[in-house]
């Protein structure tokens, strides 16, 4: 029963995030926001919403192991597994913005995560710093979107969504996120205990993979349509949001203790971020080739085996 309710919780979280993004995007279009702004803010945050809800619920319930492990594991799943699988479908080309802005920001956020977790705890004031940086990042994207809109980049016109439909989607999305998040955390803990492994291991592996399904779906569809830059942008943006928004907000609720197994994952997040940057080094082709995608997948498998080995209760 725990497994069924765990899966049901994951499904509700993912569906809830999708409904909330659709409703919020409808509101944004009614207020005349550009497609760039919607993509960089609402959709970007929306794909991180499952991780946000699971980590926030875990922090509130005193499960810091899950709150941190879910974010660290999700970022590694994003960078190594999703980028790897996507590159096997289509070699991924980096955009100028990816190289100059997004990836340096992702590396900086990852290194800050390592620094704050170094002492074994992410305190409230450190969470506040991360959250403030997230607000600044969103402000930059909003300003960038406004500049591009004024420069003459017209967004595609779409039929406005009815107000009642927007309200229904937002309310249904919030309900699905709250209910699904509670089911996901509670029964994930039960599964960990039944399997005699730590909650941190479950969070870094099964929970992280489950909450990263929206990013996986977006990237596979983007690659299949030949839009590799969208796939990379989605992953980098999600990784930034995971650290700055989710860890920032969760630590602001309650200080987060960092277990050794979670700190190893946090270090791996920083290393994988640098590795992703190296694949786009200007002297190279600025592209992730298929063989590099296969290497990323192999590295993720090695990481999971390491976590299972060191994290057993």
| Each residue's pLDDT tens digit, 7-37 | 898 888 888 877 877 887 777 777 776 655 6
Domain ranges of the chain: 2-310
CATH number of 2-310: 1.20.1420.30
SS (H, E, C) the chain: CHHHHHHHHHHHHHHHHHHHHHHHHHHHHHCCCCHHHHHHHHHHHHHHHHHHHHHHHHHHCCCHHHHHHHHHHHHHHHHHHHHHHHHHHCCEECCHHHHHHHHHHHHHHHHHHHHHHCCCEECHHHHHHHHHHHHHHHHHHHHHHHHHHHCCCCCCCCCCCCHHHHHHHHHHHHHHHHHHHHHHHHHHHHHHHHHCECHHHHHHHHHHHHHCHHHHHHHHHHHHCCCHHHHHHHHHHHHHHHHHHHHHHHHHHCCEECCHHHHHHHHHHHHHHHHHHHCCCCCCCCEECHHHHHHHHHHHHHHHHHHHHHCEC
Span 42-79, pLDDT tens digits: 666 777 888 888 888 888 888 888 899 999 999 999 99
Span 166-192, pLDDT tens digits: 888 888 888 887 788 788 878 887 887
* Average pLDDT over all residues of the chain: 83
């Amino acid at each position: 029963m725990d497994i069924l309710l765990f899966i049901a919780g994951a499904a509700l979280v993912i569906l809830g995030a999708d409904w909330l993004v659709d409703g919020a995007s409808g509101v944004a279009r009614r207020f005349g926001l550009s497609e760039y702004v919607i993509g960089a803010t609402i959709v970007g945050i929306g794909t991180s919403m499952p991780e946000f809800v699971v980590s926030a619920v875990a922090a509130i319930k005193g499960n810091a192991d899950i709150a941190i492990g879910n974010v660290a594991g999700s970022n590694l799943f994003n960078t190594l597994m999703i980028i790897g699988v996507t590159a096997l479908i289509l070699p991924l080309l980096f955009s100028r913005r990816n190289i100059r802005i997004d990836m340096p920001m992702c590396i900086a956020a990852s290194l800050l995560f390592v620094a704050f977790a170094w002492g074994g705890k992410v305190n409230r004031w450190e969470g506040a710093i991360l959250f403030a940086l997230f607000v600044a990042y969103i402000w930059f994207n909003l300003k960038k979107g406004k500049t591009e809109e004024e420069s003459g980049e017209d967004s595609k016109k779409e039929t406005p969504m009815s107000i009642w439909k927007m309200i229904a989607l937002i309310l249904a999305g919030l309900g699905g996120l709250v209910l699904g998040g509670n089911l996901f955390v509670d029964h994930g803990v039960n599964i960990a205990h039944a399997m005699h492994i730590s909650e941190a291991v479950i969070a870094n592996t099964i929970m992280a993979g489950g909450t990263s399904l929206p990013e996986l779906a977006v990237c596979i569809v983007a690659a299949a349509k030949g839009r590799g830059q969208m796939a990379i942008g989605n992953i980098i943006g999600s990784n930034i949001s995971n650290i700055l928004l989710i860890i920032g907000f969760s630590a602001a609720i309650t200080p987060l203790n960092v277990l050794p197994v979670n700190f190893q994952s946090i270090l791996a997040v920083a290393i994988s971020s640098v590795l992703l940057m190296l694949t786009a080094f200007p002297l190279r082709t600025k592209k992730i080739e298929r063989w590099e995608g296969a290497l990323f997948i192999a590295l993720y498998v090695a990481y999971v085996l390491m976590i299972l080995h060191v994290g057993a209760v």
